[in-house]
Amino acid sequence: MDATSKIVKDKVVIVTGAGRGIGQAIAGMLAAEGAKVVVNDIGTSVHGDGADVKPAQQTVDRILAAGGDAVASTDSVAQWEGAKRIAQQAMDTYGRIDGVVNNAGVLRDVIFHKMEPDDWETVVNVNLNGSFYVSRAVAPYFRKQESGSYVHLSSTSGLIGSTGQANYGAAKLGLVALSKGIALDMARFNVRSNVIAPSAFTRMTETVATTTDENRERLRTRPHIPAEKNAPLAVFLMSDLAREVTGQVFYSRNNELILFSQMRPLRSIHMAGGWTPAMVAEHMFPGFQQNFYPLQRSRDVFKTWLP
């Protein structure tokens, strides 16, 4: 392929949460690579409060100024009717939909025993339900044209774990199961679905609590990773070059691209006559214990696994 070719030329891609940060970077690179982009963002705070139409339009203005093609959408992904309007806007404007990047997300970080139902529901509604709503709203168009690509933005907070993010982690790990379900169900229509866990210094990461010496030191020494570092993988997954890539989980970490393992049986133990609780303690526990995973956070894993 010629180095100057635009790998998503004339594809129509919806990018949610594209008013700022990683979503904006992905939308911009998609447009630079020839895509027509529906820039969706309702302009809330990182906690899901308020609304502002300016971020989506500012991203569109940047794309247009660079010679690209984009339109702003300010409907909420967290509502089924809003998701349907996003899909309909893409069809009304461009006549088709080729891809969806589910990037919209909010944070409500709080230690679990202090987490309120609203903290849980707000995060799950945007990060997980919103991704389902938009994906489902687009599915009939993908089915009819027998093609399409989904990319869902997860997080190592879900894939591995982070303190104070039970709500966010649950929603982000839920995206992995959602993506796999879509990949399996939509494969017959040549529709692909993959996950990216991004890494970047954005306004969302700036909200991480700094109430402990550990967190303050971590934020002080954390490398600055631009949001744009995550865009190339997402754009590739939207392209026909990725036609054989589906059901996968990737991690983008500065200049590294990582493929994650997925849940598979690790060890098994059989008792012909069945089990009692005491027998589980006597046989299963010592047999499995050496393979138990330690209680680690994402920063623990990547501090020790990579230089």
pLDDT at position 43: 81
Tell me: the pLDDT tens digits for 9-45?
A: 999 999 999 999 999 999 999 999 999 999 999 986 5
**Average model confidence (pLDDT) for the chain?**
90
Q: The CATH number of 12-259 is which of 1.20.1250.20, 3.30.420.40, 1.20.1090.10, 3.40.50.720?
A: 3.40.50.720
Domain boundaries defined on the chain: 12-259, 267-307
d(CA 13, CA 149): 9
Identify whether the C-beta of residue 162 lies closer than 8 Å to the C-beta of residue 111.
Answer: no
3-state SS record for 126-173: HHHHHHHHHHHHHHHHHHHHCCEEEEEECCHHHHCCCCCCHHHHHHHH
Tell me: the pLDDT tens digits for 117-138?
A: 999 999 999 999 999 999 999 9
With 60 as the cut, is the pLDDT of residue 114 above it?
yes
User: DSSP string covering 66-128, please?
Assistant: TT-EEEEE---TTSHHHHHHHHHHHHHHHS---EEEE---------GGG--HHHHHHHHIIII
- Which residue among 141, 150, 168, 251 is the active-site one? 168
d(CA 129, CA 79): 8
pLDDT at position 1: 45
* Catalytic annotation present for 168: yes
